[in-house]
Structure 1
Amino acid sequence: MNGPASTAARRPILSTRAALLCVIVVLVLTNLADNRWAPSWIVLTALVATTVLIALAWLAGCDADDIGLGRTDLPRQLRWAGVLVLIVACCYLAAALVPAGQGLFVDRRTGGLGSRELLWRVCVAVPIGTVLLEEVAFRGVLYGLVDRDFGTRAAIGFSSLLFGLWHILPSLHLNDAKPVLGSVFGHSPWGAVLSTAAAVLFTAAAGVVLCVLRRLSGGLLAPMALHWSTNAFGYLVAHLVA
């Protein structure tokens, strides 16, 4: 149905700035829940937070295409996703076959996982608890809200900066968990600060790459595919070289 009535029905209830503030509050609470309050509930937390974030975007006047979840250019998105998964798989396999490359995957947090826990993480926790939430939040809702009112460069910069900050809590003591980082930064408190800062900078840069992928491919499928394959294959290789 077209006309004034339908236009009024989709008039934003929240301003962009108000929606952004609400999104940031939701993300802060979600980050604390995942890393401090209820880490074992990460999948449920992700589903609830993702639903709330999409609702906030809708209240601010965004549609599915604005947040990268529309069906526009779906075949192109699928092609991008398939190619990216294949590239990551080949790169990880090549690294795993070289003794020097195996050390990059050693992680004390995941090396002792059993097969059932590994399957849970690769097939459920990573795609839902990590990829769905983070891509919808950072490359979807945040990107879409900022892009609409402030432009693409602002959207990429803002969402990627917050994506980096999102990783502060999970990156604490990363120098102790990953021997390769411990050898670079040491195991002192100062080393922990430096390794956390490096993780924030790295993930912010990764956020830029994922935003560009969203723009080039036309939606969230490509960044989701890259994000999932990077994390999931990392778990698999870490399990194999442990």
Structure 2
Amino acid sequence: MTRARPPGRRRVLAFTAPLVLVLGAWNNVVVPRLPGSSGSYVRANVAATGLLLVAARGAGLSWSELGLDRHRLRAGLRWGGPFAAVVAGGCAAGLAVPAVRPLLADARLGGAGGGEVAHRVLVRIPFGTVLWEETAFRGVLLAALARSVSPPVAVAGSAALLGIWHVHPTRSALVANDLAGGPVARGLAVGLGCAATAAAGGLFTWLRLRSGSLLAPVLLHLAANAAGTLAAAAAHRLRRAPG
């Protein structure tokens, strides 16, 4: 007896291949070529989020498969909220320990004023980064892969592509902070950073699947990036403070 195929499987397969190519290239090829302002980054990623959702629905993926079923919002809050609180609390605790502050500092925020930090936390991170990345990886890509392969393979594939997605950002962070100076050391550092990001993506995906809602990983991702940015900016200010 042959195994029944999910409805629309061929259409989703045709959608998945170009999706993988776009996501693999977006952060590494498209974003570095955007105009330098933060606004262009946010606008491009918000527009890409909308287009991706339209394409996903056109390919036959349901709101539930995408993690956007409004009936699962409460579960998303229940699962994502505690994880977000732990991350934010960890950043605050680290900031309170003088020996840990240098580890939190990021040279890209060394001269940032209050307005720039606020823009990052309130606009760039939630709309330019979290909305786009969670929709793309824990929403559309995971749903598309789940139609074609087993759940473990779908989770692993989504996490692996997330690691590739972070090649350019990881390298940029290393350069900005003058870390891993030689090409070999920098290559190894980029590989390790992307592997760690892929592993974190596995946790985010677990939250998405356990809660049935994209809101859970969104809350954790938002807390990690926003609290990390605030902690980095505060660490620089504390280092410059007299006494």
After TM superposition, is the score higher than 0.5? yes
Q: Identify the residue that residue 221 of structure 1 maps to in structure 2.
A: 215
Q: Which runs of 4+ in 1 moved over 6 A?
A: none
Compute the TM-score of the two structures, normalised by the length of structure 2.
Answer: 0.87
**1:187 & 1:26 partners in 2: Cα distance?**
30
Cα drift, residue 29 of structure 1: 5.1
Distance 1:126 1:173 in 2: 17
Partner of 1:22: 18
Which amino acid letter does the alignment assign opposite residue 83 of structure 2? L
Residue 198 of structure 1: how far off its partner (Å): 1.2
AA partner of residue 210 (structure 2) = L
Report the alpha carbon displacement of residue 195 of structure 1 after superposing the two structures with TM: 1.4
SS of structure 1 residue aligned to 2:99: helix
Q: Show the 5 A alignment for 1:89-100.
A: 89-100=88-99
How far did 1:28 drift?
A: 4.4
Give TM-score, length-normalised by structure 1: 0.87
Task: Name the structure 2 match of 1:88.
Answer: 87
Bigger relative CO (Cα 8 Å, ≥ 6 apart): 2
One-letter amino acid matched to 1:197: G
Q: Which amino acid aligns with 2:33?
A: R
Corresponding residue number in structure 2 for 1:36: 33
Moved more, 69-78 or 11-20: 11-20
Q: Which amino acid aligns with 1:115?
A: G
Match of 2:103 in 1: 104
Deviation at 1:107, TM superposition (A): 1.1
Instruction: Note if contact 2:13-2:148 (Cα within 8 Å) is conserved in structure 1.
Output: no
Check 1:17–1:215 CA distance in 2 against 1; reply closer, same or farther (3 A cut): same
- Offset, 1:149: 2.5
Residue identity opposite 2:18 in structure 1? C
1:203 aligns with 2:197: yes
Q: How does 1:1-242 map to 2 (within 5 A)?
A: 12=8, 15-28=11-24, 30-31=26-27, 32-40=29-37, 41-178=40-177, 182=179, 186-242=180-236
Instruction: Give the root-mean-square deviation of aligned CA atoms.
Output: 1.8
Q: Secondary structure at the match of 1:150?
A: coil
**Structure 1: stretches of 5+ with no match in the other structure:** 1-10
For structure 2, the residue ranges without an aligned partner over 5 or more in a row are 1-6, 237-243
Structure 1 position 97, deviation (Å)? 0.9
Kept in 2: contact 1:106–1:238 (CA 8 A):
yes
In 1, are the aligned partners of 2:66 and 2:139 still within 8 Å (CA)? yes
**Structure 2 counterpart of 1:83, which letter?**
P
Amino acid at match of 1:81: G
- Displacement of 1:43 in angstroms is 0.9
Deviation at 1:15, TM superposition (A): 1.7
Question: 1:12 Cα deviation (Å)?
Answer: 4.4
Residues matched between the structures, number: 227
CA distance in 2, matches of 1:13, 1:50: 23
- Give the aligned residue type for 1:64: W
Distance 2:161 2:72 in 1: 27
SS at match of 1:38: coil
Aligned to 1:4: none
Answer whether contact 2:9 2:148 (CA < 8 A) is retained. no
Q: How much does 1:173 deviate?
A: 4.6
Residue pair 1:174, 1:192 contacting (<8 A) in 2 also = no
TM-superposition CA deviations, 1:178-209 (whole Å, max 9, x none): 36xx3xxx311222111111111011101111
